[in-house]
Amino acid sequence: MAQVLEFKLPDLGEGLTEAEIVRWLVEVGDVVAIDQPVVEVETAKAMVEVPCPYGGVVTARFGEEGTELPVGAPLLTVAVGAPEGLETSGPVTPGPSGARNGSAPSGPSSPSSSSGSSATESSGGSGNVLVGYGTGAPAARRRRIRPDRLDRTPTLSGALTVEAPVPEAPVSEAPESGAPGVPVPAASSTAAPGSVAPVSDGPVPVVSPLVRRLARQHDIDLRRLTGSGPDGLILRADVDCAIRQAEETEAAKTRTARAAAAPTGASPAAASPAASAAPAAERIPLRGVRGAVADKLSRSRTEIPDATCWVDADATELMAVRAAMNAATGPSAWPKVSVLALLARICTAALARFPELNSTVDTEAREIVRLPGVHLGFAAQTERGLVVPVVRDAHTRNTESIGAEIARLTELARTGKLSPAQLTGGTFTLNNYGVFGVDGSTPIINHPEAAMLGVGRIMPKPWVYQGELAVRQVVQLSLSFDHRVCDGGTAGGFLRYVADCVEQPAVLLRTL
């Protein structure tokens, strides 16, 4: 007989507590292999494909695309092993075709109440969630159908063991016939979906966490519903029907109230402006990357007593040096150097002279922790929002190496393939907001770092050069720093050194 195992959202590391379902990679009824990716989720750090540690038939999915689930919440259930009543001649082959041809049950079953570890051992699952392949899938057992097993249905308590498919269409799929998107209740149901029943003090016959959450979101009392599923089980179709009834009732009350409030004899054209409701404000959930950015910036403003200083610098010589580097041909030709790579190399040289800014504050121990290496973060704007990839060991790299790593990480950021490890662990951040066409800003420090350098756009401006007024390439540099780790003299010295290197790149030759 088949055993239904519940796969829960695993701990994705880096202290993440929830993830949003971006795209399901399997449907109910599909056959999956051990360690096959089943869902793509988005965390506050990156997008990750989550593999399932069990091999078998997907019987239920919990959560639609766009739903945010906490770590440990059920993702899906898998029927492991061949169900009785079906005769198989070989191992189960992954893919949706087998499930559609009737080689595995397609109805949803109740989630397993057994622990994940014992379920894994009994089913031969890998137990690997994000890493680890090579474990074999459990072999399907050859059984013959027995007539006395045909009418059995799974029970709602104890270890969930499936002996025959439940004739209930999954609510997460549209039926093959009929109106699209309408859930099909079980054939054995006699009660109308969403029927109101007397309030009972006993347990509510609901298995799916998705159904419970849907009812909570719409203030539906499950004790008042009569389930249309087997043995009175409340299905999503019942809750959807109750929601529609509640909305229709509320709409009828609103129409009645508006009609009563309208003055007698007033024309519809005159009454329509007063009767029309003001447009509702749009509410956007703070989750995913946007939520992580909000949490980090709020914590930075709350914990860090930051200060900002800025200076204008003549970047004409820096731009000329870059042009000379990129114009080289023949054996001396090198990959193109970006302005951001040059500024990053200037930052690592400045941090070597002013290590106070490459530190963090341990608030519990009341200590300043000076860090031995520079892991340089740089702000990158993507379709998913603002991310800060980190160039590891930037203090050991030259301009070319830093530029190549920035280009590689930027491409991963644009495609949403940055791993959590590539977005954490920075010690200092460089923010080039000049690409947005702005001159200056007061950057918010990337907690728990101690400083951030902001760079505005480089543009022609009138400038006094060698005693005469000239048009030069000018840039504004802004430094936000944690006043706990240093005073204004240190911060000013750091910023002045950066400006000197921008104005006279030859200053860098002393540290190369």
Do the beta carbons of residue 173 and residue 117 sit within 8 Å? no
Dihedral in degrees, nearest 10, Cα atoms 222, 223, 225, 231: 100
Q: Which residue has the tokens 């029309």?
A: 276
For residues 470 and 461, give the distance between their C-alpha atoms in angstroms, rounded to a whole number.
8
Among candidate residues 381, 496, 248, 395, the one with its CA nearest the CA of residue 504: 496
Do the beta carbons of residue 33 and residue 94 sit within 8 Å? yes
Greatest CA separation for the chain? 103
For residues 292 and 354, give the distance between their C-alpha atoms in angstroms, rounded to a whole number.
30
Do the beta carbons of residue 91 and residue 137 sit within 8 Å? yes
Q: How far is CA 199 from the centre of its chain?
A: 40
Three-state SS at 192: coil
Catalytic-labelled residue, pool 218, 395, 447, 483: 483
Q: Which residue has the tokens 């309030």?
A: 199
Do the beta carbons of residue 377 and residue 430 sit within 8 Å? yes
Interacting residues of 219 by C-beta distance below 8 A, sequence separation 6+: 246
DSSP collapsed to 3 states, 246-301: HHHHHHHHHHHHHHHHCCCCCCHHHHHHHHCCCCCCCCCCCCHHHHHHHHHHHHHH
Phi first, then psi, for residue 452 (nearest 5°) are -145, 135
How large is the C-alpha radius of gyration of the chain?
Answer: 31
334 by Cβ neighbours in 10 Å (0-12 / 13-18 / 19+) ranks as exposed
Q: Is 395 among the catalytic positions?
A: no
List, by residue number, the catalytic residues.
483
